[in-house]
């Protein structure tokens, strides 16, 4: 391990944190994200669960009783935005972690192997960039969902039967958002592997696996974390894209995407129930903005070029 400290580890660099702290947009974003995550995770516990059930008040405009109004079935929109946020954020975070594993492994191997292997692996990334990946996901979700449900009910995993769609979404979306991560990691590995601590490790006769995991990976941790922050909003957007089209999360479960679809359906020239659209849109867009601001600020803090 002694050698890996020879490459400066950006994770341990106090200057990075200092630079982020000096960026007011990043601080505000971090605070807002903490707030929205807390609200979505614990918020619904403090509200009565009956708010999520159909009630007598159809399309009630915002009031003290229902701050965000109610929907077609008399359900409280605030409650649904919070519980929908749970699913959107869960899929976003887990999908981004899946993409992190694939992208990091792909980039590490390509960059470290170099030569033809590298060229071939990066060609695959280029090709995947230019095909409409999300469209394949549309098909894949339908193809795999029934299979997973059957398997889960055979194994007696009741929770998985109920949330099989969420599981499929996490896996498939993680599977399409790893390309940028692979490119970034490969680029870093290409420069890192020429450094002296890697040469030294090689001269000591360490195995490739050991060099990859003990020496290269710790030095990549910072940049990986930054791109994780930027992948989460991408996955959240993908998930709500599918849910908006009615192909992702299915009713009665809701995510921000399906709430937005309800909202978009509730505005028309005769009468617009604007609160169904505006509140989910605000929750989602502010969260995405905050995630992107924070990710950008982190990236700039690591990389001061071009400022």
Partner 1 sequence: MSHLVKRLLSLVGVLFCVVSITFLLIRVSPGGPFDGERKIPEAIEKQLLAKYKLDGSLWQQYTGYLGDLLRGDLRLSTKYRNRSVNEILAQTLPVTLALGGAAFLLATFAGVWLGTLAAMHRATWRDHAAMFAALAAISLPSYITGPLMILVFALTLGWLPAGGWGSFSHLILPALVLAAPAAAVIARLMRGSMVETLQQDFIRTARAKGLRESAVVYRHALRIAILPVVSYLGPLAAHLLTGSIVVETVFHIPGAGGFFVHSILNRDGFLLGGMVIVYCTLLVFFNLLVDFAYGLLDRRIKSHA
Interacting residues with partner 1 (CB under 8 A) = 123, 127, 129-136, 138-140, 142-143, 146-147, 233, 237, 240-241, 244-247, 257, 260-261, 263-264, 267-269, 272, 274, 277-278, 281, 284-285, 288-289, 291-293, 296, 306-307
Supply the minimum distance, in Å, between the C-beta of residue 280 and partner 1: 9
How far is 225 from 263, CA to CA, in rounded Å? 34
Q: How far is the CB of 114 from partner 1 (least distance, A)?
A: 21
138 vs 171 by CB, closer to partner 1: 138
Nearest to partner 1 of 59, 241 (CB atom): 241
Q: To the nearest whole angstrom, how small is the minimum distance from the Cβ of residue 176 to partner 1?
A: 11
User: DSSP characters for 108-133?
Assistant: HHHHHH-HHHHHHHHHHHHHHHHS-H
Give the separation between CA 293 and CA 6, rounded to whole angstroms. Answer: 31
CB of 237 to partner 1, least distance (A): 5
Comparing CB distances to partner 1, the nearer of 67 and 246 is 246
Closest CA to 201 of 181, 188, 177, 218: 218
Give 193 or 299: the residue with its C-beta nearer to partner 1: 299
Determine the 3-state secondary structure of 85 from DSSP: helix
Q: How far is the CB of 286 from partner 1 (least distance, A)?
A: 9
Cα torsion through 17, 22, 24, 25, rounded to 10: -50
Of the two residues 91 and 261, which places its CB atom closer to partner 1 in the complex?
Answer: 261
Closest C-alpha to 85, from 30, 43, 114: 43
Reduce the DSSP state of residue 173 to 3 states and report it. helix
Nearer to partner 1, 65 or 150 (CB): 150
Q: What minimum distance in Å lies between the beta carbon of 133 and partner 1?
A: 8
Alpha-carbon distance 164 to 250, whole Å? 11
> Smallest distance, Å, CB 25 to partner 1?
9
Q: What is the C-alpha separation between 139 and 117, in angstroms, rounded?
A: 30
**Contact criterion met (CB below 8 Å) for 183 and 227:** no
**Torsion 44-47-51-53 (CA) sign:** positive
Q: Between 211 and 234, whose beta carbon lies closer to partner 1?
A: 234
Q: In this structure, what DSSP letter does residue 10 have?
A: G
């Amino acid at each position: 391990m002694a050698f890996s400290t020879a490459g400066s580890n950006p994770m341990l660099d106090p200057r990075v944190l200092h630079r982020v702290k000096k960026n007011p947009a990043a601080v505000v974003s971090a605070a807002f994200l903490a707030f929205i995550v807390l609200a979505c995770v614990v918020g619904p516990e403090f509200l009565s669960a009956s708010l999520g059930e159909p009630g007598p008040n159809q399309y009630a405009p915002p009031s003290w009783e229902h701050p965000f109004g109610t929907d077609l079935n008399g359900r409280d929109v605030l409650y649904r935005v919070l519980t929908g946020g749970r699913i959107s954020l869960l899929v976003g975070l887990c999908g981004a972690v899946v993409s992190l594993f694939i992208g990091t492994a792909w980039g590490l191997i390509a960059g470290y192997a170099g030569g033809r292997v590298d060229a071939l692996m990066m060609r695959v990334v280029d090709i995947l960039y230019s095909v409409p990946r999300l469209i394949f996901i549309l098909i894949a979700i339908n193809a795999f969902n029934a299979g997973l449900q059957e398997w889960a009910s055979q194994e007696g995993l009741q929770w998985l039967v109920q949330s099989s769609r969420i599981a499929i979404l996490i896996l498939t979306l993680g599977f399409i958002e790893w390309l940028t991560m692979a490119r970034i990691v490969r680029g870093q590995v290409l420069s890192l592997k020429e450094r002296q601590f890697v040469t030294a490790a090689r001269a000591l006769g360490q195995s490739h696996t050991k060099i990859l995991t003990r020496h290269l990976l710790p030095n990549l941790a910072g940049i990986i974390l930054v791109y994780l922050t930027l992948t989460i909003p991408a996955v959240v957007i993908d998930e709500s894209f599918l849910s908006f089209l009615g192909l992702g999360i299915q009713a009665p479960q809701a995510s921000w995407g399906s709430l937005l679809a309800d909202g978009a359906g509730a505005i028309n020239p005769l009468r617009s129930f604007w609160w169904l659209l505006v509140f989910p849109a605000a929750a989602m867009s502010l969260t995405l903005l905050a995630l992107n601001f924070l990710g950008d600020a982190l990236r700039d803090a690591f990389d001061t070029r071009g400022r």
